[in-house]
A and B are shown apart, each in its own frame.
Chain A
């Protein structure tokens, strides 16, 4: 057990990439072996992460557990410091869970040019990057994991992506969708990361004023609470701004979001799923893990701006959805809105708001992940994503259509399913944000966010009407459609069950996150902002 305490987390992070190395040694022609090994590795990683869950001490969820802190690059005092608390645990498990299901789904869904070996290797590298980001407690380590995910995703989009050639506004020549999307995704994220790194370095150097320079996140948080003036003022404001650029691109927040619809639309199904379900969360997680606790004062300065951008994202994303004709692009834009709720929760700087963000991230990961699976399977069968050509799907494929309807309702935040809590709680958080924040801004944001839920219902039901209902178009008359196959079911049913469980018993997330969040907010922003109100 002690061995697991020490090595369990490291194994969860690095087992995938080790598996990837192993895969690289197997000849490409042995597809079955490759697939089995890929499944074995991701399943093993998932089981190990469940082991972490079982051994997790929920009584002290606000402390880092399975912590390892070993010297790494001593010259700059960067350490291999990893650990998980109640905030990272749900996300880490989400990551291992979704990756496993992606492998299951991939079993008989390979997009051209196939090559399962390369695809699985990329997926495994991606998993290491994602798991590592959720566990890293050192800024250098965090940065490396945060950036590792870029390359596999870049290749997934660029190689397995949408090959349609189209005219990109502002570009002279016509371009393959996948190339444009992959490059845009890469450069956009890199642009943000550069600033983020700058911010990290600034913190590193500044921390050296009172002690040895450090990249260590808990240490930096300690400095922030012991000598708040060190990270305050203009310095803090600028550093927060730099981190904001890095994280906000990833989330993505309006107006830094435009890489997302392109990347999602172009990416292969599994790429879209991983992108939506987990990679977007790296940004919002960064805010919670690093930006808020290390720079609380700057966070207060930035919070209203974040709230405003979040709400613009909610409204704008929903409206943009209503203008889409491509089903996958519509789902992609819906992420802008949903992540807007996550960011509104974070911007409130309250325990409830940040808790909203965490359960919102988990829910969005499950629901939008599933939506992208479904969109992928639909376009796999219809060979088109144009909603104008679809319709009557309920008639052609009732099970697929039924699951799509269920997921659409989950996505519009139906109470009783996972998506509701995040939206509702971010409104709770925004009603009474941390002390010192403008009530006018946040309550306006709350009202607009609530109106956004109507728009969300608007485009989701509209999509269902277009795709699922009505009579099938004449062009499909002679087609034979296979309803969901067993690999699809094996990948989707666990998600469906979890959506219901989180919806009816959200404690499955709050049990880990609540104490950690209360502690985080208490340290960074003082006691609960609503304490003054007393109770009934």
Chain B
């Protein structure tokens, strides 16, 4: 392997501060990516023989990774690391003066170290939790092998110093997602949900792929650093295609981060075991799209500003319309799934509005409180053996730890101060206000009301009132509650790292130093956004209390409160699933595919067989008596030869081939003669 020397990225810009190359710690950061794959292989080959079915390997690898990630994070906070290491894995051709090459490596900067910490922290906690949750499952080793595959791929993704490696990690997490959603593949609906997730993402990936193609061929490089240099220089060849490339890449992000109208796979993805939903479909994998936009942020800033408008509005539509869908769900995980989509909308919209730090801040806090909510939901599901809130109720007494941590997560999601979600959501709303996206800000405030409403609807239906399920639910084991408590700490405190006027370093912590862009510091409290935002959250909780707090209203009364037209529309999920199924998937699989096969059999092969038939007929006509047996056999293809076994068959057939060969040689000779003659 040809080792390209790691180099320190130059820092330019007015606020340039001294950056460190991160020393040996950054030099060997690639180990973060390797360990989970090693764990995966160990689990595949040894998992069945281990006491905990190989979870030891997954957890061990992730524990080391977590320590490494925290070390990098601290190093970055204290010194400001910018390191980019790339190894060539293949030079494929020449583009202009550049030799286009594929490379693998890692980048250590604010953005990647923040993601390292998020990914490894949530992974580690979820892995531990899963030991309890998956106890007695049909295939635990598979589960942990796939989780390790996910964690490794996710780290490959966030460490990527170029688009090629990003795509490798990107698809790797997609496969892990497919495998884990379909963990219970005995049931057809689960494997279908897994396929749906893969298809929707694959469709979006067409955008990412083509965007990468355009940038790669236009610039002769896939490296982020060089792409951003070209963007900053407004290279003429780039300006013409930048918006197209930016939009295509964003289309890819819309798949992974479940943006409207490509969000449809995420609620179905809840078919996977709950730890998977917590880790991948809430905290980490689905943020890959947000991460991609953040990584490409300098590009969007410098040269593809028009694409940013699209990002803003797709995010705004998503945060608003998908939150509403959570209102009508009975499955607790689907409530959380739609909530996740909506929160991802906030992050995407924030980045679209130019709020780099705000978007990433929400990614950071959301990872903690949403993973907490999912694991809490998993704890409940584990206890009542049902996903449906109609089978729950009154669980606060039997499951006190789950209840307390869940409420903390819910308050954080509802944006109630001083919990984590308050600070990040407020910063996003402040960004909208600051950037003049007033309409989006009000959408965000209304959606915050909706968020608080469905969140506490869920809390009340699950934990309050009478128990509607079967059996006697009891609290989950320590191995599950300890991760809940750890995440609850995050859900409360994760926002305190970025309090305007108090702690202001966060924007430096998450800097994208592929090119040093001077990030604006937190915009400060914007009372015009803050006050309505908090009021919306409180109002949402209050309304949920009025409607769903036990004994306050009967189910019939609640039903009467439903808004006509809107609620039926929500129950049908805006008819998007119907559109995709009846409009795309079903016709392709059915009439179109069958039509193609029909063409193959009756048109193309019809011609082929027809030509063959006619030639045989002519041949028989001309050579009748000369070689009747061989040709006759050919017409039907059967004759006595079909029945004759082994050697006699061989003899017969070789006889035929000789005829063709003779004819072929004769024909060739005639052709040669003809050419020689006419030349």
Contacts and interface: CB of A to CB of B under 8 A. Distances in A.
Interface of A: 113, 115, 118, 151, 154-155, 158-159, 165, 168-176, 179-180, 182-184, 186-188, 190, 194, 197-198, 201-202, 205, 255, 258-259, 261, 316, 319-324, 350-352, 355-356, 392, 394-395, 409, 414-416, 420-421, 424-425, 427-428, 431-432, 446-447, 450-451, 453-455, 457-458, 461-462, 465, 468-471, 504-507, 509-511, 514, 517-518, 528, 530-536
A534 to B, nearest CB: 5
B206 A453 contact: yes
Contacts of A424: 209, 213
Contact of B90 (A173, A392, A510, A517): A510
B96 A510 contact: no
11 contacts: A170-B610, A186-B660, A201-B672, A319-B592, A322-B593, A416-B168, A454-B203, A457-B202, A469-B185, A528-B94, A534-B97
A190 B93 contact: no
8 tightest A-B contacts by CB? A536-B230, A170-B609, A323-B597, A175-B637, A322-B593, A173-B636, A351-B93, A352-B93
Contacts of B566: none
B338 to A, nearest CB: 25
Contacts of A323: 593-594, 596-597
A62 B123 CA distance: 48
Nearest to A209: B679
A258 B596 contact: no
A170 B178 CA distance: 43
Contacts of B642: 165, 175-176, 179
Given A427-B209, A431-B214, A518 B93 contact: yes
B530 to A, nearest CB: 42
Interface in B639-679: 641-642, 645-646, 649-650, 653-654, 656-657, 660, 664, 667-668, 671-672, 675-676, 679
A536 B657 contact: no
A457 B589 CA distance: 13
B593 A169 contact: no
A129 to B, nearest CB: 15
B220 interface: yes
B90 A205 contact: no
Name the interface size band of chain B.
Answer: 35 or more
Interface stretch (B78-86, B221-229, B408-416, B539-547): B221-229
A165 to B, nearest CB: 8
B185 A535 contact: no
A465 B98 CA distance: 44
B382 to A, nearest CB: 25
A428 B163 CA distance: 14
- Majority DSSP secondary structure for residues of B touching A: helix
B597 A183 contact: no
- Majority DSSP secondary structure for residues of A touching B: helix
B94 to A, nearest CB: 4
Contacts of A319: 588, 592-593, 596
Contact of A180 (B209, B602, B637, B649): B637
Interface in B552-595: 588-589, 592-594
A322 B170 CA distance: 26
A157 to B, nearest CB: 10
Given A170-B610, A415-B172, 8 more contacts: A159-B646, A176-B642, A184-B612, A194-B664, A323-B596, A465-B195, A530-B217, A536-B230
B600 interface: yes
B501 to A, nearest CB: 40
B199 to A, nearest CB: 7
B549 to A, nearest CB: 43
A465 B97 contact: no
B609 A171 contact: yes
A187 B202 contact: no
B186 A425 contact: no
A352 B100 CA distance: 9
A322 B589 contact: yes
Contacts of B650: 118, 155, 159
A197 B605 CA distance: 25
Interface stretch (B9-17, B233-241, B310-318, B481-489): B233-241
A195 B206 CA distance: 39
B188 interface: yes
B96 A432 contact: no
B628 interface: no
B634 interface: yes
B237 to A, nearest CB: 5
A124 B91 CA distance: 35
B219 interface: yes
A536 B219 contact: yes
A173 to B, nearest CB: 4
B88 A507 contact: yes
A470 B195 CA distance: 13
B92 interface: yes
B170 A187 contact: no
Max count, chain B CB within 10 A of own CB: residue among A158, A205, A259, A350 = A158
B108 to A, nearest CB: 21
B210 A446 contact: yes
Max count, chain A CB within 10 A of own CB: residue among B206, B600, B660 = B600
Nearest to B216: A428
B96 A205 contact: no
Nearest to B597: A323
B3 to A, nearest CB: 13
